[in-house]
Amino acid sequence: MFAAVWKAIGMPATKLRSFMGGIHPLKRKELTRERPIEPIPLPGKVVIPLFQPAGKEPRPIVSKGDIVTAGQVIAEPQDGRGVFVHSSVCGKVKKVGRFPFPAGFFVTAAEVEVGEGEKPFPPMERTPEGPEIIEIIRNAGIVGMGGAGFPTHFKLKGAREAGVEFLLVNGAECEPYLTADYRVLMERTEDLISGTKLLLKASGAKRAYVAVESDKKDAYDRLGGMVPDDDVIKPVLLRAKYPQGSEKQLIEAVLKREVPAGGLPADVGVLVQNVSTACAVHDAVAFGKPLIERVVTLSGTPLKRPGNYLVRIGTLIEDLMEAAGPDRDNIGKVIVGGPMMGFSMSRLDVPVARETTGVVLLSRVEAEVEPSHQSCVRCGKCLYVCPMFLPTSEICIAVERGDYALAVKLGLENCMECGSCAYVCPSRRPLVQWIKTAKLFAKKVKK
């Protein structure tokens, strides 16, 4: 049922412009698509967030004045879901305290003044098996790098216990502007295959599919030419459309399996991991390298050098922007995470987190100040576009009233935060933003 209806309303990227009224993802991706991954110079300081969206926040084990090296553990997990957090640079801890986070709230973080003494991570001679790989992943602080930031070891453990059949490696990257995963697919193909094999071992899944959208056909071809002939890892080409990158949609598109409402991919025998996460797993096992840096797309017309940059975790957005030559007089909006699912920034002293996929700058004209939002006019457009078939307008009215219990009852937690509803709303109601914030409140209420 879900499959049939979704196919009927699925939006090919080529038609998205008329549907979405402006953003054409294929065109916008052209800004950075051909820009190879490039490391940015080390900033003067980093602010490394300890926040993780599931489980207890890791406990800091460093304090002001401590000297740290790149890759050193600075926070330890406090429960089974938690991961270790590492310093992304060599330097001196200036402060451990509360700092602003891209999602709009404050989290505990460690500010480190960048010093010298970087050393490469040497190759490691080891061939770990399932549970050992999961432990390495946890120790390396690896979380879902596609945007969710969920602890990878915990997902793997659940998948192993559930006896999943398939691993789905998510290279769809359907969000407009973003091309970091595309560059990873093109430039780190061998590492991606190695990471995929490790994820297969760790999860116990027998076969992996690497899902790539048709606007990245060259990446699909490249992968197809490099995977072994044994049919264990198979690239899959999907129609380019938005949204498609959520776990549930991807599973439906590749495996024709429907994850029940409130259920998990493991319930239908599947584990989903992002392409960058797979590469991080390779780095952790092959080099003992924790997750201290990632590829971030920095894009938008106010930038002279938009591109895909290799960035240390904790680099502030204001420092990252410098790498791309911003026209500061022409910045209308800065969005962390992509225009559909990301957060619009009111300040730039927020750090790149492990799950930060991109930073998009809109010019003053592109971001033309919109009139403030109005009441819901019951047009039903948000209901029509919602891929999860949620009563979005009702959920948001409940959220506006602060009735999170009702919002949860109406399906708040099934929202995949694709942003389609907010995009089409004629009353310019910030629907997805309300939902994202309400999810965090709902979690606190549950605790």
Q: Decide if residue 426 touches ligand SF4 (CB under 6 A).
A: yes
Select the span of 165-173, 186-194, 351-359, 415-423 touching ligand SF4 (CB under 6 A).
415-423
Among 431, 433, 438, 439, binds ligand SF4 (CB under 6 A): 431
Rounded to whole angstroms, the Cα distance separating 169 from 271 reads: 8
Question: Quick check: 80 binds ligand SF4 (CB under 6 A)?
Answer: no
- Closest approach of ligand SF4 to the CB of residue 428, in Å: 8
Residue nearer to ligand SF4 on the CB measure, 308 or 393 = 393
Among residue numbers 58 through 77, which ones bind ligand SF4 (CB under 6 A)? none
Q: Which residues contact 253 (CB under 8 A, 6 or more apart)?
A: 211, 238, 244
CB of 247 to ligand SF4, least distance (A): 12
Cβ 409 vs Cβ 401: under 8 Å? no
Span 381-400, contacts to ligand SF4 by CB under 6 A: 381-382, 385-388, 390, 392-393
**The amino acid at 108:** T
Nearest to 215 by CA among 254, 175, 252, 188: 175
Least separation in angstroms between residue 387's CB and ligand SF4 is: 6
Cβ at position 249, least distance to ligand SF4 in Å? 10
CA-atom Rg of the chain in angstroms: 21
Q: Which of 149, 156, 141 is nearest to 74 (CA)?
A: 141
Binding segment (CB under 6 A) for ligand SF4, from list 71-79, 150-158, 197-205, 424-432:
424-432
Q: What is the DSSP letter of 122?
A: P
Near ligand SF4 by CB under 6 A: residue from 250, 376, 408, 410: 376
Which CB sits closer to ligand SF4, 100 or 419? 419
Question: How crowded is the C-beta side of 112, counted as CA atoms within 13 Å?
Answer: 31
Q: How many positions of this chain bind ligand SF4 (CB under 6 A)?
A: 29
Asked if 249 is part of the footprint of ligand SF4 (rule: CB under 6 A), the reply reads: no
For residue 36, what are its two tokens? 């190879």
Is residue 47 at the binding interface for ligand SF4, with CB under 6 A as the rule?
no
Smaller CB separation from ligand SF4, 271 or 410? 410
CB of 382 to ligand SF4, least distance (A): 3
Alpha carbon distance 82, 84 (integer Å): 7
Query: Contact with ligand SF4 (CB under 6 A): which of 421, 430, 433, 439?
Result: 421
Cα separation, 31 vs 336, whole angstroms: 17
Other residues' Cβ atoms within 10 Å of the Cβ of residue 244: 25
Residue 378 interacting with ligand SF4 (CB under 6 A): yes
Instruction: Report d(CA 128, CA 133) in Å as an integer.
Output: 6
Is the alpha carbon torsion for 356, 357, 363, 365 positive or negative?
negative
> Which phi and psi angles does 35 have, rounded to 5°?
-90, 110
Select 112 or 421, whichever has its Cβ closest to ligand SF4: 421
Task: Work out how close the CB of 15 gets to ligand SF4 at its nearest, in angstroms, rounded to a whole number.
Answer: 17
Q: Tell me which stretch binds ligand SF4 (CB under 6 A): 164-172, 274-282, 309-317, 370-378.
A: 370-378
The single residue among 5, 379, 405, 445 that binds ligand SF4, judged by CB under 6 A, is 379
Q: Under DSSP, is residue 76 helix (H, G, I), strand (E, B) or coil? A: strand
Using CB under 6 A as the binding rule, whether residue 429 contacts ligand SF4 is answered as yes
To the nearest whole angstrom, how small is the minimum distance from the Cβ of residue 378 to ligand SF4? 5
Give the nearer residue to ligand SF4 in terms of CB position, either 10 or 130.
10
Tokens of 233: 């890892």
Nearer Cβ to ligand SF4 (326/387): 387
- DSSP state, 75? E
- Tell me the C-alpha to C-alpha distance, in Å, between residue 426 and each of 13, 192, 434: 22, 42, 16
Instruction: Enter the DSSP assignment of 412.
Output: G
3-class SS at 235?
Answer: strand
Question: How far is it, in rounded angstroms, from Cα 217 to Cα 237?
Answer: 7
Per-position x/- string for 321-360, each x denoting binding to ligand SF4 as judged by CB under 6 A, each - no binding: ----------------------------------------
∠ CA 324-307-145, nearest 5°, is 115
* 419 binding ligand SF4? (CB under 6 A): yes
Applying CB under 6 A, the residues found at the interface with ligand SF4 are: 376-382, 385-388, 390, 392-393, 415-421, 424-427, 429, 431-432, 435
